[in-house]
Structure formats: C-alpha cells, structure tokens
C-alpha cells in the first residue's frame, strides 16, 4: 500500500523497527500474554540502547529530537508484534515523558528525561480515580502546599504501568477552586514514603502492561516537582493529545496486523476445493477491512504531520483516535470471522489482537468521549454532562 509522504529516512527507520521487533519479540509476545508477565526492565533498557525511547525527545537530554511521526512509525511496527514493548516506546515518546519535555522546567527535564531515554526509568500518567474516569475534573486527589513540599492524599485507578514505573505524572487538586480550575500536575517518585499500590488488575487484554490502583497517604512531593500550576488543566489536556496520538497508532497497528494475518490466511486456507480468497463474501470483508485501516492511517498521519516537533491539534487527534480505536476492534473482529474456528484459538494470535484492541480503545479516553470532544471542538460549545 501507499507509503504516504514518509521520507527515505523514515521508511528506513520503519523497516529497521519491523525487523528488530520481529527478531526480539515474535517468539515471546504470546508467552508474555499467556503468563501475564510484565515487560522486563532489561528489555526496556535494550530499547533505550537502540535509541527507540528518545526518538521524539530533545537531543540535549540524549534523545534524537525527531518529529513525532518518526516515533509513531516505530510504535506501529513494534505494536504489530508485541504491545508491551510498543508501550515502552509509546510512553516515552508520546506519553508523560513528552509532557515533561513540552511543559517542564529545565531542571525537571535534566533530572528525569535522560534516565527515561536510556531505559533506566519509565514514567506513568495518573489521572483516573474510582469516581473520576471520563469525568476527570471530578478527581479528588489533593496536594496541599506546605512550605517546600506538597502533601498528597487520595487514590488513582486504572493506572497503566502502576507499580512498575519509577515515576508518575500525577494530576491532582492543588487548590480549592472547583472543577478544572483547581487541577494541576506533579512529578512523583515511586519510592516516596506513603505511596503504595493495589493488587494487579487481571484484564481481558493489555497483558504485559501492569495496571493497578495507586494510594497516596500523606505523600510528600518537593515543590520543585510542580509541573503545572492549578488552573492549567486545559494546558495538561492539550499535552495529553500527544498520548492519544500514540494510543491511536497502537490501535492502527492492531488493525493492520489483523488485516495482514487475515490476508495471509485466506490465500492459503482452502474450503470447497478452493482458497477462501476466491469467495466473494471474503473479498467484500477484506475490502472493508482495508478501508478502515487506510482511513485510520491517513487521520493519524495528518495529526502527526501537523504536530511536527510540537503538540498536535486536539480535534485532529480526537478524530484519529476515534477512527483508529474503532478500526482496531472492527478489523480484528473481521479477522476472527475470516479465520473461522482457528480465529478463536491462541495459535494465530488474532484473538489476542482483538482483546488488546478493546483495551487500547478504552485507554486515554473512550471512543464515546472522543465523539463528544469532536463535536465540542467542532462547534466551540461545551456540553455539561452533569446537567
């Protein structure tokens, strides 16, 4: 299919990433999924040594300083093979580390980014709470300034990489102002006294990427770790668009991998004396799958191109995420149907793609919430879901 307007260097980067992902993880990804094994730290450091954890992060701190689309083409190739490995590349280049790179002080960047780029540390984002998921501004976790530090109390839920990451980008209430006006962000280190973790979630998909609750019991965070002042919620969520762009790319990879697997299968599998590809119903299904994948890729690439080395447009990202998340779910489901009973087994990896597709669609803002954001940004209107 088309390579769009990727440069020769980007095409070479994509090819190298595809070869590396297959060589490193093709044989172990299914095993990690089956055993619910957390991606090992030595493997994270290997990704750092290969330069994949700093593609879109500043050269000053050890990164490559490349535009975000360079990171996305690598994320896609790894996500086709091993989502836990892709997650490490995703979190460093388009996740909370990128928020630090975009919004942090020079001191914060110098302290935290080099270790993340090397793979010596990772950073998770902590937003959702037991009573504040899609309604993020209902969060109650509070950070009170006391002299040279903040005292943090509260709980976070559904935090990907919780308990495994060494650093956390914490969204919290920093003032008594209601709604978004009181929310800001802090950088919290895992070994801070009073910080603890709940039991690991046993998820349908998303395996190899740990998820659990985080509890803050009088956790002291140095004042210098304040990333965004209260009232900066809009700024934070604009930066979070980068995370949603990375998420979209993983969903795109799932859809592409499902299409690739289905196409190979129907060319070789025979029924009624001829390959499945010869049946018109199969052809119609493949055509629909391809349209979904190509549409999602165009939307993801548009948002990435317009972002360059900065933050993407929120509306373009919401459109891309909604399209890619749905493509991942729908195309992987179609692939299961084309595989018949074989699609329902673990042998072909299609059921794993489908399970993961649902997890990535929920993470970072569900397709339903993206629809609401799309209309809000399209019209310039705000829709109060509480009214």
Domain residue spans of the chain? 8-121, 124-231, 234-379
CATH-assigned architecture of domain 8-121: Orthogonal Bundle (1.10)
E strands of 37-148, at which residues?
A: 123-126, 142-146
Instruction: Say what the pTM is.
Output: 0.94
DSSP assignment of 146-199 equals: ETTEEEEEEEEEEEETTTT-SEEEEEEE-SS--GGGGEEEEEEETT-TTEEE-P
Does domain 234-379 correspond to CATH entry 1.20.140.10? yes
Q: At CA 18, angle to CA 287 and CA 208, rounded to 5?
A: 95
Q: In this predicted model, what pLDDT tens digit does every residue of 265-301 receive, in sequence order?
A: 999 999 999 999 999 999 999 999 999 999 999 999 9
Q: Which residue has the tokens 């009232």?
A: 231
Q: Which residue has the tokens 């093709």?
A: 26
H or E element at residue 311? none
Residues with Cβ within 8 Å of residue 269, at least 6 apart in sequence? 275, 276, 342
Q: In this predicted model, what pLDDT tens digit does every residue of 375-385 receive, in sequence order?
A: 988 898 888 76
Q: In this predicted model, what pLDDT tens digit does every residue of 340-362 receive, in sequence order?
A: 999 999 999 999 999 999 999 99
CATH-assigned architecture of domain 124-231: Beta Barrel (2.40)
H or E element at residue 275? strand 274-275
């Amino acid at each position: 299919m088309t390579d769009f307007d990727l440069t020769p260097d980007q095409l070479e980067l994509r090819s190298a990433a595809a070869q590396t992902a297959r060589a490193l993880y093709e044989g172990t990804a299914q095993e990690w999924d089956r055993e619910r094994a957390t991606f090992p730290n030595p493997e994270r450091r290997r990704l750092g040594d290969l330069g994949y954890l700093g593609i879109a992060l500043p050269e000053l701190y050890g990164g490559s300083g490349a535009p975000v689309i360079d990171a996305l083409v690598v994320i896609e190739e790894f996500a086709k093979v091993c989502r836990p490995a892709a997650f490490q590349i995703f979190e460093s280049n388009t996740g909370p580390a990128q928020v630090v790179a975009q919004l942090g002080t020079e001191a914060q960047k110098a302290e935290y980014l080099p270790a993340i780029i090397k793979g010596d540390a990772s950073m998770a984002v902590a937003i959702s709470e037991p009573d504040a998921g899609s309604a993020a501004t209902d969060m109650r976790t509070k950070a009170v300034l006391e002299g040279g530090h903040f005292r943090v109390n509260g709980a976070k839920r559904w935090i990907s990489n919780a308990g495994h990451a060494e650093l956390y980008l914490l969204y919290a209430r920093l003032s008594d102002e209601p709604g978004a006006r009181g929310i800001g962000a802090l950088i919290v280190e895992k070994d801070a006294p009073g910080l603890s973790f709940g039991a690991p979630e046993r998820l349908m998909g998303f395996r190899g990427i740990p998820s659990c609750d985080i509890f803050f019991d009088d956790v002291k965070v140095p004042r210098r770790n304040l990333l965004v002042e209260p009232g900066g919620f809009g700024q934070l969520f604009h930066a979070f668009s980068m995370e949603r762009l990375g998420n979209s790319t993983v969903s795109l990879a799932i859809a592409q991998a499902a299409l690739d697997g289905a196409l190979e299968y129907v060319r070789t599998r025979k029924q009624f004396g001829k390959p499945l590809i010869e049946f018109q119903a199969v052809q119609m299904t493949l055509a629909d799958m391809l349209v979904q994948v190509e549409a999602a890729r165009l939307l993801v690439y548009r948002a990435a191109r317009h972002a360059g080395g900065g933050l993407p447009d929120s509306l373009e990202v919401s459109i891309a995420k909604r399209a890619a998340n749905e493509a991942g779910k729908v195309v992987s489901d179609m692939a299961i149907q084309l595989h018949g009973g074989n699609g329902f087994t673990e042998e072909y990896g299609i059921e794993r793609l489908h399970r993961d597709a649902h997890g990535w669609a929920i993470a970072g803002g569900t397709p339903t919430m993206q629809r609401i954001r799309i209309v809000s940004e399209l019209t310039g209107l705000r829709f109060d879901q509480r009214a």
